[in-house]
């Protein structure tokens, strides 16, 4: 019998969400298999932040120590104006009293830790590479997946974890078209660079009208790198035209400048750091409108396939991981049934829709927008003259509640699986 025949759950897409689902189902004693389109896994992408709600789930999977060894435990989140003036900072993760850390990590390291664990725990056939799913059929007894080049596979349920350009979502919502452009273009890169602000701060500067940056270390320094950590940076600016939506699309320094020139502060020369980056990636900030439903019978969606969101609150990977854990919990309780998918959707659809919409209007970088607008983009003598500390803290706390990582909720809610 071929691998994957009659598994309970067929997972389409071996990204962050699909692998977290495979590990969670295995932990719950449910058989599953992952079908991934690419023939070979490459260390792609740049930095990702794992907030305490995602880290609680990864720690319940026994992966916290391995992730922490490859990541930077974030101590502080800080905001500065375009002129380098301090606006606001707050402790993060365990430094803010959570039971779980906030980790800043390279996507390739996160993916590698998940993939290695899947192979070790579920076996080397658990992830089938080179399987691009093009169509799902279902009837009362199960589902059949069809691939572009390989034989069909059958199972009881199928979960589309196939990312922002999901083929399964296209089947559910024909004619939806491309994700929606926000009007903001993003360039990203990683570079070995001297540590700044204690070596464990995530910092955000400026505003998107004139150029916003998000910068944080994702890998510790080593003797080979002369102690320099790997720094992840993102540069964002409003642009009328969207570039092609491709995670590996190359960006050009010339297109970013002069918006990001002259950003030399006493704690970091941002412009020099960007100019020293060998490979710059370019991606438009896009999302999709929340769907009223994302399950149909034995098929459901998870992660970016279900609810792609702007990367403005460090929640894309985290919400995919939480979906995975919650869905595994429902399948454990209700079996590999349509009822389990319905129970998953009833809770996770409205919860993630709120995050998608809040990322459009009121994510944590609202702090930068408010300061930019109220100060007219000019230098200010004291931040208190522009906005009160209480108002800044309230913006940050509001988002934690929407995204499900305020300290009390996280401490007291039962485990999903």
Residues of this chain that interact with ligand FAD (CB under 6 A) are: 12-18, 35-38, 44-46, 48, 107, 132-133, 161-163, 167, 247, 303-305, 311, 316-317, 320
With a CB cutoff of 8 Å and minimum separation 6, the contacts of 18 are 11, 12, 34, 36, 159, 161, 162, 302, 303, 324
From the CB of 26, what's the least distance to ligand FAD, in Å? 17
- Specify the DSSP element, H or E, that contains 353: helix 338-361
Q: Is residue 358 within 8 Å of 367, Cβ to Cβ?
A: no
- Look-up: residue for tokens 């995050």? 355
Residues 6+ apart with CB under 8 A from 197: 76, 78, 203, 267, 268
Q: Which is nearer to ligand FAD, 16 or 410 (CB)?
A: 16
Residues 6+ apart with CB under 8 A from 216: 47, 49, 72, 74, 104, 201, 202, 203, 231, 232
CB of 360 to ligand FAD, least distance (A): 16
Q: Whole-number minimum distance, CB 378 to ligand FAD, in Å?
A: 32
- Judge whether 280 and 253 are in contact, CB under 8 Å: yes
Q: Is 163 exposed, middle or buried (0-12, 13-18, 19+ CB in 10 A)?
A: buried
Residue among 234 and 340 whose Cβ is closer to ligand FAD = 234
Please measure the distance between the N-terminal and C-terminal CA atoms of the chain and give it in whole angstroms.
Answer: 30
Closest distance to ligand FAD from the beta carbon of 237 (Å):
18
Q: Minimal CA–CA distance to 236: which of 287, 183, 185?
A: 185
**Min separation Cβ 250 and ligand FAD, Å:** 13
CB of 355 to ligand FAD, least distance (A): 12
Q: 35 or 233, CB closer to ligand FAD?
A: 35
Q: Which is nearer to ligand FAD, 19 or 383 (CB)?
A: 19
Q: Give 58 or 87: the residue with its C-beta nearer to ligand FAD.
A: 58
> Smallest distance from the beta carbon of 385 to ligand FAD, in angstroms?
35
| Closer CB to ligand FAD, 48 or 280, in the complex | 48
Dihedrals phi, psi of 163, to nearest 5 degrees: 75, -170
Q: Which is nearer to ligand FAD, 82 or 188 (CB)?
A: 188
Assign residue 118 a region (left: φ > 0; alpha: ψ between -120 and 50; beta: otherwise). alpha
Question: Least CB distance from residue 166 to ligand FAD, whole Å?
Answer: 7
Query: Of 9 and 320, which has the nearer Cβ to ligand FAD?
Result: 320
Beta-strand relationship, 47-50 and 103-106: antiparallel
Q: Which residue is nearest to ligand FAD (CB)?
A: 15
With 0-12 / 13-18 / 19 or more C-beta atoms within 10 angstroms meaning exposed / middle / buried, residue 105 is: buried
């Amino acid at each position: 019998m071929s691998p994957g025949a009659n598994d309970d759950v067929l997972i389409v897409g071996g990204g962050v969400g699909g692998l977290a689902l495979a590990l969670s189902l295995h932990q719950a004693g449910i058989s599953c298999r992952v079908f991934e389109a690419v023939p070979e896994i490459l260390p792609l992408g740049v930095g990702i932040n794992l907030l305490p709600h995602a880290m609680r789930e990864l720690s319940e999977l026994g992966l916290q120590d391995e992730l922490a060894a490859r990541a930077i435990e974030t101590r502080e989140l800080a905001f500065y104006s375009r002129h380098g003036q301090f606006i606001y900072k707050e402790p993060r993760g365990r430094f803010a009293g959570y039971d779980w850390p906030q980790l800043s990590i390279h996507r390739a390291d996160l993916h590698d830790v998940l993939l290695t664990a899947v192979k070790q725990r579920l076996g080397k056939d658990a992830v089938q590479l080179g399987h691009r799913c093009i169509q799902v059929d279902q009837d009362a007894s199960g589902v059949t997946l069809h691939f572009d080049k390989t034989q069909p596979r059958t199972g009881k349920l199928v979960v589309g974890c196939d990312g922002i350009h999901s083929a399964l979502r296209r089947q559910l919502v024909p004619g939806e078209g491309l994700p929606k452009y926000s009007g903001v273009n993003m360039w990203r890169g990683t570079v070995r660079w001297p540590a700044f602000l204690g070596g464990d701060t995530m910092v955000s500067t400026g505003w998107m009208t004139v150029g916003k940056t998000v910068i944080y270390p994702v890998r510790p320094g080593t003797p080979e790198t002369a102690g320099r950590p790997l720094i992840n940076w993102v540069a964002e600016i409003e642009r009328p035209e969207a570039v092609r939506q491709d995670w590996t699309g190359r960006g050009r320094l010339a297109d970013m400048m002069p918006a990001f020139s002259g950003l030399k502060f006493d704690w970091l020369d941002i412009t020099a750091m960007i100019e020293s980056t060998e490979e710059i990636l370019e991606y438009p900030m896009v999302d999709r409108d929340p769907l009223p439903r994302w399950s149909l019978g034995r098929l459901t969606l998870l992660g970016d396939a279900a609810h792609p969101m702007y990367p403005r609150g460090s929640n894309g990977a985290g919400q995919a991981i939480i979906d995975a854990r919650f869905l595994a919990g429902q399948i454990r309780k209700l079996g590999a049934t349509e009822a389990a998918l319905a129970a998953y959707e009833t809770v996770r659809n409205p919860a993630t829709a709120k995050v998608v919409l809040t990322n459009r209007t009121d994510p944590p970088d609202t702090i930068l927008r408010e300061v930019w607008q109220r100060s007219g983009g000019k230098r200010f003598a004291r931040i208190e003259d522009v906005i009160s500390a209480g108002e800044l803290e309230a913006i940050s706390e509001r988002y934690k509640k929407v995204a499900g990582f305020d300290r009390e909720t996280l401490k007291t809610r039962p485990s999903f699986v």
